[in-house]
Chain A
Amino acid sequence: MEPSANLSDAANRSGSVQWLQPGDALACFEPPEGLHQAVAGKVQKEVRARYGFRVGALGLLIDPGTGSEVVPVSSVTPLPDAPRGFLGLVNLRGNLVPLYELHVLLGGDRRQADAGMMVLVFGQGEQAVGVVIDGYPVALNQLSQLHSVPQLPDALQAHVSAGYMQDGVVWLEFDHGAFFDEACRDYV
């Protein structure tokens, strides 16, 4: 059933309006008429490609100045009494890298960690932090900037500075450093 049908049924039953989760709403996001023509002149003519990854229905862009890599993780060492979004520590070439699940941090359900899951590691050394990704990062070189950033989960809204679109998919400019700093502060 379509989300709009759910919404209308719920509204009819309860007499009040119920809103979709921001992630679900972004998955159903349809660009308004003429948006592509309005932003067609703002297509970034960058020769260098940006890289983005998907977390559920969200498309997040990797900071172009941050060195990142994809590693298959075979084992994760959990920590007792850790928050839900913190899966544990991963041994990456001798460095202990904290591993988060953005899907949980953004309000979703926790998934079972498996041996073959892919992890995207931001930064290097002590600044490194890893997140579980659903697929490989993709190269993006035809991004069109949106006039405004769509409604996002509260935990993510303050760390997204701009929105782009390519091939009908919305990609968000994601400041991972500030996001995980705030997440660490919340945990501490």
Chain B
Amino acid sequence: MKFINLTIRAKITMLAVIAVLFLVVVGLVANQTIGTLSKVSRDATEKTSVSLELLALAAQTRGNFRSQVQEWKDILLRGNDAELYAKYFEAFEKRYADVQKGLSDILKVATAAGQTELITAKEIEELRRAHENMHAQYLAALKNYNPAHATAGQEVDRLVRGLDRPLHEGINALAAKIADAAHKESAAVKVQVESESDAALHVTIAALLVALALLAALAVLITRGIIRNLNSLQQTIADINHGNFDVRARTDGKDELAVLAKAFNELLDNRVATTARIQKENEQLNESILNLLRAVAVLSRKDLTVKVPVSEDVTGAVSDALNLLSGETAKVLQDVSNISADVTSASLKVQQQSDSMLLAAEDDRAEVDRAAQVLSSAAQALDQIAELARLCNTEADAAIKTTQVALASVNNTVSGINSTRDVIRETEKRIKRLGERSQEISGVVSLINVIAERTHILALNASMHAASAGEAGRGFAVVADEVQRLAENARQATQQISALVNNIQIETADTVSTMNDAITQIVEGSRLAEQAGQQMHLTQQTTADLVASVKQIAASSEVQAKAGQELLERAETLKKSSRQATDRLQEQSSHSNSLVEYAKQLLATVRVFKLPA
């Protein structure tokens, strides 16, 4: 329907134009009826004016006739004066002419107005003739008037008395007839005017009512069209307010409301699409946060192999930070684990070296014991030399052999002590390298501590930003708190590792100190053994000189006895030093066992974390 497709502006303009047209039509109808009424009124006025003119002429004629009769009486009463007589007579004649003229005028007006039925020419002619006869009779009677007689007027009047009465009656009857006709005409005109006026009023009201009805129908039609679209738009908004985003406003027609409904539908589509997009982004963000929480939960179980999925939203930076933290921590812990394995291996080697050193020391001690026993025997033999000087020759060979054996034992002892010293020095170097490795672990632990400290600051800033973000940052605050706890755990782990490394360094320093003491003791033992060797060599030379200087044996037997006693004391000292060296080596072995145990504990502590392959 074309009318529906019109815009509201066009509809209202059309309604206004139609209203104006209706007003014009009603005006034309009213004008027409008013024109008709005016014409009727004009005709009635014309008729009334003719009647009034006839009435005026009748009244004027009747007055003239009465004046003529009065002039007649003046002539008769005052006609004895010639001047008055002439005056009154002239007036009498003039009144006569006026009456005649009035009658003629009445006939002319009636004839001109077409009222020949009301006033006939015959009737007027009869009145004129009667008036002429009366005038003639008056003039004839006036001939008998003698101004000299006082009663002349009465006599003349007696002659014409009663002549004017029929004419009076005729003129009065004419006037009454004209008046009656005028009244009737006036009543008829009044009725006609009222009828025409009522008809005009009815036609105007009818036209006005029809125009109002048509305008009302058109207005209702336009209003219904507007209200229907408005109700549709209002119902759509109400449905949207109740959460139904699938409804759309009607877009029938091409008016402004249809355009508005289309724009509203487009706006609603955009809003629905935007809401869906925001909801999708929120779901993605929630999914990212859940992935972060799952990854943090796995990390909190010390499993560093997990990789936090990196998303494109705001949690991507946190995921990268977590991956970087877990990766760097895993690398560092892997290095710590490797170093711990090296420490364990080195500790086991140290322990093996200590065991071998302990066995060597046991052998050395046995050799020293044997040397001491031999020296004791030599001392006893030297003691017996003094007593058995005579038997020196026979037993000199035995003494030389015994001294040679003792010298060989001392030389072996010196060689074993030197070997033990070399082994201890090698062990000292390894333990120092172990201490250096421990310092490297300390550096790595410091790096882990710095990373944990920065992570702690990062998590604290994230928590404060999340707190300032209000309700929107609640989920992010949970992630930041978990990261902060993880950083705290990492820092505590590094502190434990640092404490273990410090213990290792302390034990290593103690071990090095103990080994230095052992080396000192060994050096001292070596020096004593060399002195013993020199003494044994001197004994050998002395024993060798025994054969040549057998006679001098007795003299120098006391010297030899003292030398043997001194040798015995040196041997006892050497035996004591060897025992002390053995004790130190056992203490070193104990420290090596502790070192192995600490290395195993370090390895177990580091391997608590599940590291990537």
Contacts and interface: CB of A to CB of B under 8 A. Distances in A.
Interface in B269-322: none
A49 B464 CA distance: 9
Contact residues on A (Cβ < 8 Å of other chain), bracket = 10 to 19
Given A48-B477, A66-B468, A67-B468, A139 B461 contact: no
A68 interface: yes
A70 B461 contact: yes
Nearest to A120: B464
B477 A62 contact: no
A177 interface: no
Nearest to A50: B467
Contact of B468 (A68, A70, A71, A136): A68
Given A48-B477, A70-B457, A72-B457, A139 B468 contact: no
A70 B467 contact: no
Interface string B459-479: 011011101111000100100
A65 B465 CA distance: 9
Contact of A62 (B457, B464, B469, B470): B464
Interface in B39-66: none
Interface in A53-95: 62, 64-72
A179 interface: no
Contacts of B467: 48-51, 64
A48 B465 CA distance: 12
Contacts of A71: 457
Given A48-B467, A64-B467, A65-B468, A70 B460 contact: yes
B597 to A, nearest CB: 38
Nearest to B481: A139
Contact of B465 (A67, A136, A139): A67
B464 A48 contact: no
Contacts of A68: 461, 464-465, 468
A138 to B, nearest CB: 9
A137 interface: yes
Contacts of A65: 468, 470
Contacts of B469: 67
B474 to A, nearest CB: 7
Contacts of B463: 49, 51, 139
Among A50, A67, A137, residue most surrounded by chain B Cβ atoms (within 10 Å): A67
A1 B468 CA distance: 42
A121 to B, nearest CB: 9
Interface in B473-497: 474, 477
B477 A69 contact: no
A42 B457 CA distance: 32
Given A70-B457, A72-B457, A51 B474 contact: no
Given A136-B460, A137-B460, A69 B474 contact: no
Contacts of A70: 457, 460-461, 464
A137 B459 CA distance: 12
Mostly, the A contact residues are loop
A136 B477 CA distance: 17
Nearest to B473: A48
Interface string A4-42: 000000000000000000000000000000000000000
Interface string B357-395: 000000000000000000000000000000000000000
Contacts of B477: 48-49
A139 B478 CA distance: 13
Nearest to A138: B460
Among A50, A62, A68, A72, residue most surrounded by chain B Cβ atoms (within 10 Å): A68
Contacts of A139: 463
Contacts of B460: 70, 136-137
Contacts of A64: 467-468, 470
Nearest to A121: B461
A79 B457 CA distance: 28
Nearest to B456: A136
A45 to B, nearest CB: 15
Contacts of B461: 68-70
A128 to B, nearest CB: 13
Contacts of A136: 456-457, 460
Contacts of B465: 67-69
A51 B473 CA distance: 15
Contacts of B474: 47-48
A24 to B, nearest CB: 29
B457 A67 contact: no
Nearest to A51: B464
A72 B456 CA distance: 12
A49 B477 CA distance: 10
A129 B389 CA distance: 107
A166 B469 CA distance: 24
A136 B488 CA distance: 13
Contacts of A47: 474
Nearest to B454: A72
A48 B467 CA distance: 7
A71 B460 CA distance: 10
Interface string A135-147: 0110100000000
Nearest to B465: A67
A142 to B, nearest CB: 15
Contacts of A66: 468
A69 B462 CA distance: 8
A60 to B, nearest CB: 14
A48 B472 CA distance: 11
A49 B480 CA distance: 13
A134 to B, nearest CB: 15
Contacts of A137: 460, 464
A108 to B, nearest CB: 25
A149 to B, nearest CB: 23
Contacts of B470: 48, 64-65
B27 to A, nearest CB: 72
A136 to B, nearest CB: 6
B463 to A, nearest CB: 7
Nearest to B457: A70
A49 B468 CA distance: 10
A161 to B, nearest CB: 18
B449 to A, nearest CB: 14
Contacts of B468: 64-68
Interface in B421-465: 456-457, 460-461, 463-465
A70 B456 CA distance: 10
Nearest to A72: B457
Contacts of A49: 463, 467, 477
25 contacts: A47-B474, A48-B467, A48-B470, A49-B463, A49-B467, A49-B477, A50-B467, A51-B464, A51-B467, A62-B464, A64-B467, A65-B470, A67-B465, A67-B468, A67-B469, A68-B461, A68-B464, A69-B461, A69-B465, A70-B457, A70-B461, A72-B457, A136-B457, A136-B460, A137-B460
Please name the 4 residue pairs, one residue from A and one from B, whose CB atoms are nearest each other, closest first.
Answer: A69-B461, A67-B468, A68-B464, A51-B464
Given A51-B467, A64-B468, A137-B464, 10 more contacts: A47-B474, A48-B470, A48-B477, A51-B464, A64-B467, A64-B470, A65-B468, A65-B470, A70-B464, A136-B457
